[in-house]
Amino acid sequence: MDTIRTDPAARDRATMDRYRRHLSTGRAALGEMFGGDVEVAARGAWVRTSAGRELLNCGGYGVFITGARHPRVLRAVRRQLSTNPVATRLLIEPQVALAAEALVGTTPAGLDRVHFACGGAEAVEAALKMARANGKRRLVSMENGYHGKTLGALSVTANPLFQDPFRPLLPDTAHVRYGDAAALEAELAAHPDESCVIVEPVQGEAGVVIPPFGYLAEVRRLCHQYGAFLILDEIQTGLGRLGYWWGAEREAIVPDVLLAGKALGGGVLPVSAAIATAEAFAPFDRDPFLHTSTFSGSPLGMAAAQAAIAAIRDEHLVFRSRWLGELLREEIAEILVERLGAAVREVRGLGLLIGIELAVDGLAGELLLELMAAGVIANHSLNSAQVLRLTPPAVMDHEDVDFLLHAVDRAARAVRDVL
């Protein structure tokens, strides 16, 4: 016991052991594969391990657009913690109203009703139920799309690996090719006035797949034409990640419901939201108990969301995301093509959602490991083994950018040997 208190390596082994005994042996094995580092602190773009290593956080699945523990978010959360962290839910509470107003101030005009939740999949569930309450019983989603793993969200996440062990899922679902408006039209035309379409503006977990420009506007038009309800899932892409406040802006569309999550809690707390038009929200508006959950709109999360939105706005993080993304994609492509040649298929993305697609099986995983060895945390892509994803924070400075580019170069040289 004494050794565990004084020896960091012994403490890390004990953590790993607890993972094995009480969480997941698979997760422990994965942790070991990544070098067994144990994270204990985070600040801005950086994560510190128990052994004192500093890692640049280009992972985190898109959460950290404001970096970790943004000072403004911390201040707001601390203030709320010392006054009213969790509401009674019977009385009216100001923070949730202020957060809704702040969020609606960032979304396309016409989206002004908000249902708050904690995780992303919960926001997806709320939106799917809103579609049902509006009479849409068929669900149309996109091949390789990702919307989460609760049963409803999983029903529209078209990956047999995640779906098959849990069948039967929701009935009356169809999956059509992403980026293919004609395929969507055929599906909607066969079931007019019955469908709910859920789509991402850029597919993140599919490996940063950007649809042809004009596709989203066409999806919006088709949904109008065939009486379908449109959910735009911006849980990963929203709040500046793409170099726009919302991917919806890029094609000037207004969905029936827009989904937010990940970055909404300012890298401090879990907060998500379904932001709807008044018409789409009407069933929830009439009966406030139709869809509820205890921690929906909790004041602590709401303080974090307001501060996150204010930080993104006042520090021009949307603009920073756009230009940092352009710079990084260009530089990373240059390094990788020089080091790995044709093994690199493409470096693509919008803003700070960057995908590196590799042409050799297993290379994305090798690169992920080597990046970690070089001090950078990256993401794999749940629905595409060939694509390594970088989701760096928009608060990175020049030194962080240099560090990342050196790490990419070092990792690329290291994986060259396995080619």
Ligand X SMILES: Cc1ncc(COP(=O)(O)O)c(C=O)c1O
Give me the sheet containing 39-43, strands edge to edge: 39-43, 46-49, 54-57, 376-377
**Which residues touch 216 (CB under 8 Å, ≥6 apart)?**
199, 201, 232, 247, 248, 250, 251, 253
Q: Least distance to ligand X from the beta carbon of 405, Å?
A: 26
d(Cα 272, Cα 400) in Å, to the nearest integer?
Answer: 29
Give the β-pairing of 195-199 and 376-377.
unpaired
Answer yes or no whether residue 233 interacts with ligand X by CB under 6 A. Answer: yes
Answer yes or no whether residue 119 interacts with ligand X by CB under 6 A. Answer: yes
Cβ nearer to ligand X, comparing 154 with 415: 154
Name the segment binding ligand X (CB under 6 A); options: 8-16, 92-100, 200-208, 334-342. 200-208
| Contact track, ligand X, 255-284, x by CB under 6 A | ------x-----------------------
Answer yes or no whether residue 205 interacts with ligand X by CB under 6 A. Answer: yes
Q: Which of 44, 59, 67, 120 binds ligand X (CB under 6 A)?
A: 120
Answer yes or no whether residue 235 interacts with ligand X by CB under 6 A. Answer: yes
| Contact track, ligand X, 66-105, x by CB under 6 A | ----------------------------------------
Answer yes or no whether residue 207 interacts with ligand X by CB under 6 A. Answer: no
d(Cα 295, Cα 96) in Å, to the nearest integer?
Answer: 11
Q: Least distance to ligand X from the beta carbon of 118, Å?
A: 8
Cβ nearer to ligand X, comparing 61 with 295: 61
Give the C-alpha distances (Å, rounded to integers) separating 317 from 79, 133, 397: 24, 36, 12
Cβ nearer to ligand X, comparing 343 with 391: 391
Q: Least distance to ligand X from the beta carbon of 270, Å?
A: 7
Dihedral of the alpha carbons of 321, 326, 332, 335, in degrees to the nearest 10: -150
d(Cα 337, Cα 416) in Å, to the nearest integer?
Answer: 11
Q: Which residues pair with 379 in a beta bridge?
A: 389
| Contact track, ligand X, 333-372, x by CB under 6 A | ----------------------------------------
Cβ nearer to ligand X, comparing 80 with 141: 141
SS3 of 216-238: the string is HHHHHHHHHHCCCEEEEECCCCC
Name the segment binding ligand X (CB under 6 A); options: 120-128, 215-223, 291-299, 311-319. 120-128
Answer yes or no whether residue 201 interacts with ligand X by CB under 6 A. Answer: no
End-to-end Cα separation, the chain, in angstroms: 46
Q: How far is CA 114 from the centre of its chain?
A: 19
Q: Which of 16, 20, 53, 61 binds ligand X (CB under 6 A)?
A: 61
Name the segment binding ligand X (CB under 6 A); options: 117-125, 170-178, 277-285, 308-316. 117-125
Answer yes or no whether residue 384 interacts with ligand X by CB under 6 A. Answer: no
d(Cα 367, Cα 167) in Å, to the nearest integer?
Answer: 35
Q: Least distance to ligand X from the beta carbon of 287, Å?
A: 25
CA dihedral for 198, 202, 205, 207, sign (positive or negative): positive
Instruction: Looking at 247-344, list the stretches that DSSP marks H as alpha helix, in order from N- to C-terminal side.
Output: 247-250, 278-286, 299-314, 317-340
DSSP 67-111: -BS-HHHHHHHHHHHTT-SS--SSS--HHHHHHHHHHHTTSPTTE
Q: Which helix (H) or strand (E) holds 257?
A: strand 257-260
Cβ nearer to ligand X, comparing 121 with 364: 121
Give the β-pairing of 46-49 and 54-57.
antiparallel
**Residues in binding contact with ligand X, number by CB under 6 A:** 15
Cβ nearer to ligand X, comparing 235 with 358: 235
Q: Encode burial over 373-396: b for 16+ CB neighbours within 10 A, e otherwise.
A: ebbbbbbbbbbbebbbbbbbbbbb
Q: Least distance to ligand X from the beta carbon of 317, Å?
A: 19
Task: Give the phi and the psi of residue 16 in degrees, each rounded to 5.
Answer: -60, -40
Name the segment binding ligand X (CB under 6 A); options: 94-102, 114-122, 125-133, 309-317. 114-122
Cβ nearer to ligand X, comparing 146 with 245: 146
- Cis, bond preceding 288 (omega within 30 deg of 0): no
Answer yes or no whether residue 147 interacts with ligand X by CB under 6 A. Answer: yes
Cβ nearer to ligand X, comparing 261 with 297: 261
Q: Least distance to ligand X from the beta carbon of 123, Å?
A: 8
Answer yes or no whether residue 125 interacts with ligand X by CB under 6 A. Answer: no
Q: Which of 236, 321, 381, 391 binds ligand X (CB under 6 A)?
A: 236
Q: Which residues bind ligand X (CB under 6 A)?
A: 61, 119-121, 124, 146-148, 200, 204-205, 233, 235-236, 261
